[in-house]
Amino acid sequence: MLSDEEDLIKRIQEGDTEAFREIVERYHKRVYSITYGFFQDREKALDAVQEVFIKTFRSIGGFRFGSSFYTWLYRITINVCIDLQRRSKSAPFTLFSEIQDEEGAIVPERFKNKDSPDPQDDLLKRELRAVTNKAILSLSHEHRAVIILREIEGLSYKEIARAMNCSEGTVMSRLHYARERLREMLKKYLKESEAL
Amino acid sequence: MKDQYSDIKKLLERYYDNELSEKEKIEVEGHLTTCTECKEELKSIEGLSVLIREYGTMEPEEETFEKVWHGVREGIVKTVGARLALPYTLLLTAVFVVLLMLAWLFYPYKTEELPEAKTGLVVVEAVESSPKGVMVFNANGGSVAVIWLFEIEDGEEEAI
């Protein structure tokens, strides 16, 4: 008896694009959260999501149900992110000084939090987003991928190892390094975020 | 005490990630009741996690799915188009190669006949020297020898 997802995959392998639409609908938010985590930029994240699903469609014929579909999809996602990042020459982060300049109002749209009624809170949240953004982007591809899969997607070490094609020991050491570096960069803000 | 602190500190991340065995988990939890430093360390790991989840992510906009699907569908059409076109491309290439081979085999070549073929003369020796050059031919299978003396003027040959 095939599961619903296996049935969908079989149909895609037979060329059913409607079945693929259902897969995209089911997974696009999870893929987006990884690509956004990786690029910290909406446009780039969206481009990457499209690329991920096009690649998935192209290679789904070779999927043999040996591993779970989402681990396989995450592997494609991480590879696409790394590939796109290598192709793009400049890192897309906003400088902290940019969001501090209130008079000049150089605040990118993505940092504006419309839900927050308190301007002080709003400013602090924008600041926290910008510094977190910058800190994540300062990590190497591999460290960034590990921290996103663990902290945002909540994958176990075993799942991360499968998605990244490395050992659990490598996952642990990359995660430890990434956390140490982020905690160092964000130590000033770790307490402030608790207050919000 | 110091050793236990550093041993437990190494386990804190895995404890937070729920990656410890039951035995290790009990050990860490027992230690946390007495060690303020480890409690602070764990709080810091947790704080970072919250910061990343709150500020390092972004919910996709409402219309994201339609945008994504639009781009993906275009990519799929190209992929499918290329897959469908592949056998035809291969077939056309094969036909072209076969035609090329047939043309090579059956093309009626007209090569310029060599002097030997026209006259039956075979050059035995040729010496270019000033003022006259000499060329010796054999004809009729070697029974007749022809000696040709010629002058070379301004690059043109003139037989005597």
- pLDDT one-digit tens code per residue, B123-152: 888 887 777 888 888 877 778 888 888 877
What pLDDT sits at residue B28? 93
3-class secondary structure, A124: helix
pTM of the model: 0.66
Burial class, A84, CB count within 10 angstroms (exposed 0-12 / middle 13-18 / buried 19+): middle
Q: Which residues of B touch A12 (CB under 8 A)?
A: none
Long-range pairs for A178-182: beta carbons < 8 A, 24 or more residues apart: A178/A139, A178/A143, A178/A144, A178/A146, A178/A147, A179/A147, A179/B13, A179/B45, A179/B48, A181/A135, A181/A138, A181/A139, A181/A143, A182/A135, A182/A136, A182/A139, A182/A147, A182/B48, A182/B52
Quote ipTM for the complex: 0.75
Residue in B closest to A186 by C-alpha = B48
Task: Determine whether the interchain pair B68/A189 forms a contact, defined as Cβ–Cβ distance below 8 Å.
Answer: no
Interface test with A, best of B55, B73, B74, B83 (most A CBs within 10 A): B55
Contact indicator for A45, A36 with CB cutoff of 8 Å: yes
Yes or no: say if A17 and A3 are a contact pair by the CB < 8 Å rule. no
If you measure CA to CA, which chain A residue comes closest to B14?
Answer: A172
Chain A hits for B50, CB-CB cut-off 8 Å, are 193-194
Contact across the interface for B73 and A183, Cβ inside 8 Å: no
pLDDT in tens, A138-150: 999 999 999 999 9
CA-to-CA distance for B54 and A133, rounded, in angstroms?
11
Distances (CA, A) of A40 to A138, A159, B8, B32: 11, 23, 34, 35
Cβ–Cβ < 8 Å for B16, B45: yes
For the beta carbon of residue B111, count every other beta carbon within 10 angstroms: 6
- Residues A112-139 have a mean pLDDT of 78
Is the pLDDT assigned to residue B156 strictly greater than 60? no
Question: Does residue A172 sit at the B interface (CB-CB below 8 Å)?
Answer: yes
| Residue whose tokens read 């005490």 | B1
Query: Are the Cβ atoms of B69 and A21 closer than 8 angstroms?
Result: yes
- Residue A107 pLDDT greater than 50, yes or no: no
Distance from CA of B74 to the nearest CA of A (A): 9
Is residue B88 very low, low, confident or very high in pLDDT (cuts 50, 70, 90)?
Answer: confident
Q: Which residues contact A181 (CB under 8 A, 6 or more apart)?
A: A135, A138, A139, A143
Say yes or no: A128 contacts chain B, CB-CB below 8 A. yes
**Which residues of chain A have a CB within 8 Å of the CB of B86?**
none
Provide, as residue numbers in chain B, all residues whose Cβ is less than 8 Å from the Cβ of A176.
13
Nearest by CB to residue B55, choosing from A46, A128, A176, is: A128
Q: Any idea which of A31-40, A91-100, A110-119, A155-164 has the lowest mean pLDDT?
A: A91-100
Q: What are phi and psi of B135, to 5 degrees?
A: -135, 130
Most confident of A183-192, B35-44, B106-115: B35-44
Quick one: which of A187, A129, A145, A139 has its CA closest to B43?
Answer: A187
pLDDT tens digits, A164-173: 999 999 999 9
CB A165 within 8 A of CB A155: no
Which residues of chain B have a CB within 8 Å of the CB of A175?
Answer: 13, 17
Chain A residue numbers with beta carbons less than 8 Å from the beta carbon of B13 are 172, 175-176, 179
Of B17, B56, B72, the CB nearest to A37: B56
**Interface touch A17/B73, C-beta < 8 Å:** yes
Percentage with pLDDT > 90 across chain A: 53
DSSP string of B94-122, one letter each residue: HHHHHHHHHHHHH----PPPPHHHHH--E
How many whole angstroms separate alpha carbon A94 and alpha carbon A127?
A: 11
Contact A189 B51 (CB under 8 A): yes
CA B64 to centroid of chain Cα atoms: 36
Q: Of the given ranges (B37-41, B82-86, B140-144), which has the lowest mean pLDDT? A: B82-86
**Whether A175 contacts A140, CB under 8 Å:** no
Residue B106, pLDDT score: 80
Contact B79/A at CB under 8 A: yes
Beta bridge partners of B132: B151
Phi, psi of A162 (to 5 degrees): -65, -45
A105 vs B10: which has the higher pLDDT: B10
Residue B28 neighbours by CB under 8 Å, 6+ apart: B8, B11, B12, B15, B20
Tell me how close the Cα of B66 comes to any Cα of chain A, in angstroms: 9
**Structural contact between residues A71 and A159, judged by C-beta atoms closer than 8 angstroms:** yes
The packing angle between helices A17-39 and A69-87, to 10°, is 50
CA distance B60 to B57: 9
One-letter amino acid at B118 equals: K
